[in-house]
Structure 1
Amino acid sequence: MRFGVLGPLTVRDGDGNPVAVPEVKVRALLAALLVHEGRPVSADRLIDGLWGDDLPGNPANALQAKVSQLRKALGRDRVVRQAPGYRLRLDETGDEVDADRFLSLVDRAGSATGPRERAELLTEALELWRGPAYADFADEAFVRTAAQRLTEQRLAVREERAEALLESGDLTLLTGELADLVARHPLRERLRAVQLRALYRSGRQSEALASYAELRGRLADELGLDPSPELAALHEAILRQDPALAPSPAAPAGAAPPTPERPRSN
């Protein structure tokens, strides 16, 4: 069975066919169990997550009814009664939940032999995402922390993938994805550093300098901070056209950028 939480909640059987989980409270129960990754969840916590302050007349019986409906959809052996509540039985292979497969691919990328292989594995990991994590229930308290953690991990992986593509000499990331990411996360210094390097290597030095200036202004206005020493050092290296910013010898043939334009003197 396959469970999807990197987007709207989905369930598929071993053949890839959708498994219907009817009724919002039953789907919420499944989401609450998935958040805990096969660990037991107390009945009190499940009741609070499903009903909050709007409790039914007999909360324990109401929860048992939802558990019965979920067992009917998934199979009785999938939802296990275990003190102090219930747990979702997951396969020990660790690949039934797309979030687990995502993290496994990211781990494999960390052991990759080169930037191109690392970028391919990270791309495969990111392709598992179908939308915001736990999209159906992202505003619910019982999934909020897990959804935020996965969202942060997704962004970090997108930064790592951009770095791997840059290291491999693939500057096509500039055509859309990187600019879009910076626009949506303008204060992420790691992301901005990749953009500055990619712009510079593409011969677009003035755009790299403008991007740095924009970040410096945002940091000062919104947080009262200066760019990190690392980013400031990168800015200085771009200004002096440091040879160390050139593509590494491992970059594929033909990946060398045009000669960077010199900044115009005022």
Structure 2
Amino acid sequence: MRVRLLGPVDAVVGGVPIPVTGLRRRAVLAVLALHGEGIAGTGRLVRAAWGDRAAGVSPNTLQSHVSALRRVLGDRTAIIARPPGYLLDLGPDATDVAEARRLVGRGERGADPAENAAALRAALALWRDRALIDVGGVPWLDEQAEALEGLRTRAQLALVRARLALGEHAQLEPDLQRLALARPFDEQVHAQLMFALYRTGRQADALGVYRRLRAALADHLGIDPDQRLRELEIAILRQDPALDQPALAVRLLAG
């Protein structure tokens, strides 16, 4: 049994996706799942599901939605009443969010770039759409959705680092160009693009990326590139032999 939040909120029971009908029920299930093995207080559950109308909601109304969710999950013990609220009792890795966090952590910390890439690809495959896409409009859930999209970005950038460490510079260059356009002030993305361009024999283009980023940061944010990016520019200018070692990407381009 698993609750999925990386896209529309639903449950997977016996390998079969089960939709959760009703915005309020989905919101209650999402809050329970996001608390992991912790207790979600009744106040937070009611505010997430009813918003501005929360003050008029009785405990019995919330309880009826919890009962309906137990039926969806096919297990009366899946959601336990425990003061000051409820606990989703499906085990430590029973949400796609928990699995994604575990896989991203493994992919960021591992010593083998190939294993890291495999873990990060598995993590990214868990996203079916924007996280919590069908329970938007609730401030707390919107904050959680933003954080989960941040986790997705972390995984994407870590996968780029792993692939650079594997020597996949030419294959990555088009994706990095698109990422740099979409994230014009992201120094990590631009460092990765500089490294990829240099490793494919395009030193001038790599230095051009640095100059454009430096100008953009100065014009729009009033800051200079950080020290690590300046050191990468110097290494490219000098054609530092250390840059010919693909595994150096893991250290130079870490977030």
Fold agreement, TM-score > 0.5 = yes
Q: Which amino acid aligns with 2:7?
A: G
Q: Which residue pairs with 2:5 in the alignment? A: 5
Correspondence for 2:132 among 134, 143, 167: 134
The residue correspondences of 1:58-73 to structure 2 (distance < 5 A) are: 58-73=57-72
Correspondence for 2:115 among 111, 114, 117: 117
**Alpha-carbon distance between aligned partners in 1 of 2:248 and 2:225, rounded to the nearest angstrom:** 30
1:99: how far off?
A: 1.3
| SS of match in other structure, 1:53 | helix
1:56: how far off?
A: 7.0
| SS of match in other structure, 1:135 | coil
The superposition leaves residues 121-167 of structure 1 with CA deviations (integer Å, 9 ceiling, x where unpaired) of 21222121122221222442122332222222221222221111111
Q: CA RMSD in A?
A: 2.2
1:179: how far off?
A: 2.0
Structure number with larger C-alpha Rg: 1
**Alpha-carbon distance between aligned partners in 1 of 2:182 and 2:237, rounded to the nearest angstrom:** 26
| SS of match in other structure, 2:233 | helix
1:84: how far off?
A: 0.7
Q: 1:249 to 1:189 in 2, by over 3 A?
A: closer
Q: Which amino acid aligns with 1:5?
A: L
**Alpha-carbon distance between aligned partners in 1 of 2:248 and 2:237, rounded to the nearest angstrom:** 25
Correspondence for 1:204 among 186, 202, 207: 202
**Alpha-carbon distance between aligned partners in 2 of 1:249 and 1:12, rounded to the nearest angstrom:** 39
1:79 aligns with 2:79: yes
**Alpha-carbon distance between aligned partners in 1 of 2:60 and 2:157, rounded to the nearest angstrom:** 47
**Alpha-carbon distance between aligned partners in 1 of 2:98 and 2:170, rounded to the nearest angstrom:** 29
1:60: how far off?
A: 2.1
**Which runs of structure 1 show a deviation greater than 4 angstroms over 4 or more consecutive aligned residues?**
248-251
- Residues 118 and 161 in structure 1, CA contact (< 8 A), matched pair in contact too: yes
| SS of match in other structure, 1:38 | coil
Q: Which residue pairs with 2:41 in the alignment? A: 42
**Alpha-carbon distance between aligned partners in 2 of 1:110 and 1:174, rounded to the nearest angstrom:** 18
1:106 aligns with 2:104: yes
Q: How many residues align?
A: 248
Point out where structure 2 has 5 or more consecutive residues left out of the alignment.
Answer: 250-255
**TM-score with structure 1 length normalisation?**
0.85
1:105: how far off?
A: 1.8
Q: Which residue pairs with 1:264 in the alignment? A: none
| Higher share in helix | 2
**TM-score with structure 2 length normalisation?**
0.88
